[in-house]
Structure 1
Amino acid sequence: MRLTDENLPGRSDAESLSESPAAPEKPVRRRSLWVRKRFWAGCAGLLLIGVLFRLVWDWTHPPSPLLQVAADAAPEVAELLREANQLAQDTVAIFPDDPYAWDVMGQLLGRFGKTEEAAQCWEKALKLDPKFAVGYQSLGNLALERGELKKAAEYYRRAWELERDSSVYPVQLAEVLIQDGRLEEARQVLTECLRRHPRSLPARALLGQILVPLKDYSAACEHLMYVITANPEYTNAYYPLSTALSRLGQTEEARKYLARFQELKRRDEQRHRMDLKKETQLPAVRAAVARAYLLVAKIYIARGDISTGERLLNRGQELNPDEKEIPPLLAWLQFKTGRENEATSILRDYRQKHGNSLEAQMAAGKVFAEFKKFEEAEAAYRRAIELTPLEAGGYAALASLYITAGRRPFDAHVLALRAVAREPAPQFFFILALAAQRDGDTPAALAAAQEAARLDPSNDQYQRLLESLRRTP
């Protein structure tokens, strides 16, 4: 007989009856297990979809290059880089059609080693404005870093063609041409630059250097002596000057200038070694981010958003109190919004802090002059003349102030003559023409206007003044 639950020994009928309903539980358990499997399979599917979506998103939306740099930086530097990234991203999002917005992004990316991405920003800027000279210059800088000399030369040349009055672009172009062995071409570029900017020390120093291998030793000495007279600390002028003098047989003079070169070179190398020992990363990053705030502020100000521009400038100044361009612009905004006392205070402090800076005195004077603060502007321009008595800028600025204010016509005439004597450039002959006209000397005014128009025949302002003086009885 087969043993079953019913005939097992020791089990009663009551027990058998109480357990008899357990038979239907088996299919219920199977269904519950099936439901749980479906649930976990669904969860796994959703997780897989999420992972795939994240992979696709990361592939199509790579992290910002600046954030990539920030990931490997020290905490304080990383925080600044994230701030800079947000500033740049917001700027190009708000002003996608403004080449200056893309220039800000490009400058930040280039500054922190993301050169490919920086190049894309400047290419975008040039698509928006093919006459955006800064874009060509920046692409030239990148090409030079890569050693692509011919490409760099073409970029610098294009920038110079767009801004012919620049004294920076032709010097950069000449430097590349020299590295590429195109000395005669560099000579022509620098000669043209000096025709427009005869007191440009970088242009004269470079021209003097290339005239030595071109064996024009006398001209080389003339240019290089000019440079070291204007700036005795100009290290790189001494060695080619020594070489040129040696070729001319002036051995003692050559030795003297060679010794001076070696002395300055040792000093420069010592300063460089000291700089390397300093912890300079954080201050340099702060300065770069402050510069970005300044550039973005200019975009907002150009569009009439004064409050945002001022907020950005304040943040830039907080990051780098030594950024020289911020205080004059802040003062200009405060003058513009009727806060004359605050603006005047800023510029006075600025002039005092940078008392030996020509650029600072000229910038302060320009803002004071625009808002008719005659005495303050006059003091700033006089200080500029004291700092650089051999330069034309201070004399021309003070002459222009007197002309615009209708004061001291004779003094304006004398100052304009001094400016032209130091730099016979078209813009200074134009100021001389105006000053002579105000001083009642029509023949001198006509002669100066003719010279300005001759030096820059495409300038409509010069031509109009010349025609007006020709009609004067």
Structure 2
Amino acid sequence: MSSGDTKKWLPWLAVWIAVTAGALSFYQLSLLRNTMDRQAELSEWLGTLEKGEPKTTPPPTSPLPTPATSQPLATSQSSAESPTGTPSDGADPTPNLSPLVQLVVRPLRASLDTLEEELEEVAARLQSQYPSSADALHVVGMMKAQTRHYSDAQAMWQECIRLEPKQELHYINLASIAMEQGNYDLALNTLRQGVALGFDSFDMAHHLALALSNLGGFEEASDVLTESLKKHPEEGSHWLLLGQAQLELGKLAESEASFRKAKELGVETASLYVGLGNACLRQGKRGEAKEYLETYAELKKKDNLSGEERYQVLSDQEIKRTAKSIFTEAAAVYFRQKDTLESERLLLRCVAMEPESLSALRALADLYYQSKQLEEERVVRERIVSLGSEAFQDYLEMAKVYAALRDRRRAEATLKMAVSVFPQKIEPYAGLAEFLVEGNKLVEARWYAQKAIERVPSAEGFLFLASICDKLQDERGAAEARKYAKQLSSQQPDQR
């Protein structure tokens, strides 16, 4: 191109650059305004959530409060509003906010030292923020124990007992850590305090017998275990400990019987085989004794760490498991203290370390449920189901999220998937039938209700089927269903 041609194009090029720059500036300004509007909207939304946070204490089965199983799958269409504030017509909604969470797909690598430092930071923060909370100090104690800082763990559980003297777990944990350090006198005194307060669980009896045995109190240990086994006859560890006490007392036949009972209940440890071998040997059963002692030797060979190393070395797998456990427990503490952001951060950290951990994902989903963050809950529940969960409750909770978002089509599809995954369970069929009734899909609802009854006939199931038939004006079907419901009711014992 000649210099003359270039001069002709230069003015147009300048115009084009100016227009493009103006457009980009306008786009950036619009993007900035949209971002600011979104942030303002989000701040207002989060403020509303903070005011409505629950104050309930989570049940022992989950670190965080879980959705109630009896919660309706979907609200009635007459009072329902879509997330945008307009009445729902059953169509897929357009959420007013995109999910504020993205889940890691592949586990992130972290060195042992890095994770230990992170654990120490979490523990220090808990201790400084909530020095008068036994829940918080319990988590610190667990972290110290699992990272082999036993004296620190002992101090934490002593403080927990002072703050919350009626919690049995604190006495058991303090006794356990005392025995780990060889302080059996402290362990025994701690456990006797717990027994004096009326604690009589399996764990209390087991640790009491263990402390007594290590102090030579085999007779009392035997009595404690014999009494506890009346309430817990299927506890193999009780039988093992009883066999060891009886062996020390010279009750060889009783000892052998106790060891064999422990083995029958699934105990397969080196201590079982060495005890059983010695009981047989001292009774002259040399052939059996030889077999059991050889098994004992083989089990000992599988232990690659020496006793000294076991108490000094933490493997990457152990520290990772400890971190996940402590982060989850700490998240529960922060949730109860209404710091949902820190609770969310810790649970997301668990997922980052192990993206396929169903327990961590469920805890995170439950946090979003309690915080009423439906889109975030949806993302997590979808991940749970995509991992092939074998728990029907996971599918039900995902369907509930879709229903709460007024996305009835996906809710129905999720329940149908549950039917395909659990073809012999009654719950998916019954749940889908109820959902279809709410959506006025009565013919389909009747079909699934019938399938539920085929799997587990019940008076309640037939009455539900009768109610569907009534809505379909199927008088004959309703009458038949009520007849079977009456028959089943007469066969059931009076529960009053």
TM-score (normalised: structure 1): 0.53
2:360 to 303, 326, 331: 326
Are the equivalent residues in 1 in contact too, given 2:150–2:181 (CA < 8 A)? no
Give 2:345's aligned residue: 311
Partner of 2:91: none
TM-aligned CA distance change 1:264 to 1:126, over 3 Å: closer
Query: Quick one: distance in 1 between partners of 2:200 and 2:365?
Result: 28
* Per-residue CA distance 1:204-262 (angstroms, 9 max, x = gap): 21112222223333333333223323437333212222232344444433333233223
Where structure 1 has 5 or more consecutive residues not aligned to the other structure, the ranges are: 1-74, 352-360, 383-404, 411-436, 443-467
- The residue aligned with 2:139 is 104
Check the 8 A contact 2:237/2:267 in 1, yes or no: no
Structure-2 separation of matches of 1:145 and 1:91:
24
Q: Kindly report which structure 2 residues correspond to 1:340-359, keeping only aligned pairs within 5 A, or say none.
A: 342-343=380-381, 345-346=383-384, 349=387, 351=389
Partner of 1:289: 323
What is the identity, as a one-letter code, of the residue corresponding to 2:364?
A: L
Deviation at 1:169, TM superposition (A): 3.2
Paired amino acid for 2:242: L
Match runs of 1:452-463 below 5 Å: none
1:102 partner amino acid = L
Amino acid at match of 2:219: E
CA distance in 1, matches of 2:203, 2:421: 27
Distance 1:249 1:154, change over 3 A: same
1:96, distance to aligned residue in structure 2 (A): 3.3
1:324 CA displacement: 7.2
1:99 Cα deviation (Å)? 0.6
Q: Deviations over 1:71-119 (max 9, x none)?
A: xxxx955544443333223323433332111122333344455544443
> What residue in structure 2 maps to residue 267 of structure 1?
302
**Percent of residue pairs bearing the same amino acid type:** 24
Select the structure with the greater relative contact order (CA < 8 A; seq sep ≥ 6). Answer: 2
Rg larger for:
1
Q: 1:245 aligns with which of 274, 277, 280?
A: 280
- Alignment partner, residue 119 of structure 2: 84
**1:307-351 deviations in Å (ceiling 9; x for gaps):** 542321121333456877424423433555443573264266375
Kindly tell me the number of residue pairs found equivalent between the two proteins: 309
Greater shift after overlay, 83-92 or 301-310?
301-310
Higher helix share: 1
- Superposition deviation, residue 297 in structure 1: 0.7
* Whole-angstrom distance in 1 between the partners of 2:180 and 2:314: 22
Distance change >3 Å, CA 221–CA 328, structure 1 → 2: farther
Question: In 2, are the aligned partners of 1:209 and 1:240 still within 8 Å (CA)?
Answer: yes
Distance 1:156 1:368 in 2: 43
Range moving further from structure 2, 132-141 or 176-185: 132-141
Counterpart AA for 2:346: L
What is the TM-score with the length of structure 2 in the denominator? 0.51
Counterpart secondary structure, 1:83: helix
Find the aligned partners of 2:230 and 2:385 in 1 and give their Cα distance: 34
Residues 55-454 of structure 1 aligned to structure 2 (within 5 Å): 79-112=114-147, 114-159=149-194, 164=199, 166-231=201-266, 233-268=268-303, 270=304, 280-303=314-337, 306-319=340-353, 325-334=359-368, 337=372, 338=374, 339=377, 342-343=380-381, 345-346=383-384, 349=387, 351=389, 364=391, 408=456, 440-442=491-493
Amino acid at match of 2:170: G
How far apart, in 1, do the equivalents of 2:232 and 2:368 lie?
34
Change (3 A) 1:212 1:381: farther
SS in 1 for 2:302: helix
Say which SS state the counterpart of residue 196 (structure 1) adopts: coil
Using a 3 Å threshold, how does the CA distance of structure 1 residues 145 and 331 change in structure 2: closer, same or farther?
same
Separation in structure 1 between the aligned mates of residue 227 and residue 393 of structure 2, nearest angstrom: 29
Aligned partner letter, 2:136: A
Q: CA RMSD in A?
A: 4.3
Which has the higher mean CA deviation after the structures are superposed, 329-338 or 93-102? 329-338
Contact 2:157 2:174 survives alignment (8 Å): yes
Question: Who is 2:407 aligned against?
Answer: none
**1:109/1:118 contact within 8 Å kept:** yes
